[in-house]
């Protein structure tokens, strides 16, 4: 390294670092981390995952948790894959598992539908 001190001066090393932890894939992240992130959110909760199916499995009473967030004024948004889209069909062919990608998306939409019927403040966007 040509200028080690210049690089070192620009790298955050204390508690204010932007990246605290990283995981090579979603399932390597402990479910407690997801629970803490959701619990500590007060203004805007935006979950962008193709199915977000794991949340309904890993987080106890997740619908009720989201309902409390909404009641507290938090904006809740989900970005999901299109269960009928070409990309989804391609992923299903690659994965070739009984619980298909489109089914996992639809399960997430079903859970979110419980919140939408209760109040019209959750945004669900398919891509």
Token pair of 58 as six digits: 């890993």
Whether 76 is covered by a domain: the verdict is: yes
Identify the bridge partners of residue 123 per DSSP, sorted by sequence position: 77
Token pair of 40 as six digits: 């500590």
Whether 30 is covered by a domain: the verdict is: yes
Whether 43 is covered by a domain: the verdict is: yes
User: pLDDT class for 21, splitting at 50, 70, 90?
Assistant: confident
Looking at the 3D structure of the chain, how many domains does it have? 1
Whether 16 is covered by a domain: the verdict is: no
pLDDT, residue 14, reads 64
Whether 56 is covered by a domain: the verdict is: yes
Whether 5 is covered by a domain: the verdict is: no
Whether 65 is covered by a domain: the verdict is: yes
Residue-number span of the structural domain to which 65 is assigned: 24-126
| Cβ atoms of residues 101 and 81 within 8 Å | yes
Whether 1 is covered by a domain: the verdict is: no
pLDDT, residue 1, reads 54
**Weakest mean pLDDT among 5-9, 85-89, 119-123:** 119-123
Average pLDDT on 33-47 reads 94
Tell me the three state secondary structure of residue 91. helix
pLDDT, residue 22, reads 85
* Residue 6, pLDDT above cutoff 80: no
């Amino acid at each position: 390294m040509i200028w080690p001190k210049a690089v070192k001066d620009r790298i955050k090393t204390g508690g204010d670092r932007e990246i605290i932890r990283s995981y090579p894939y979603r399932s390597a992240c402990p479910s407690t981390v997801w629970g803490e992130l959701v619990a500590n959110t007060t203004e805007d909760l935006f979950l962008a995952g193709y199915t977000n199916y794991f949340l309904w499995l890993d987080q106890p009473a997740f619908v009720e948790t989201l309902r409390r967030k909404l009641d507290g004024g938090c904006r809740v948004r989900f970005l999901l894959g299109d269960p009928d889209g070409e990309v989804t069909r391609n992923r299903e062919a690659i994965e070739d598992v009984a619980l298909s990608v489109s089914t996992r998306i639809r399960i997430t939409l079903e859970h979110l539908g419980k919140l939408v019927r209760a109040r019209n403040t959750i945004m669900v966007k398919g891509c």
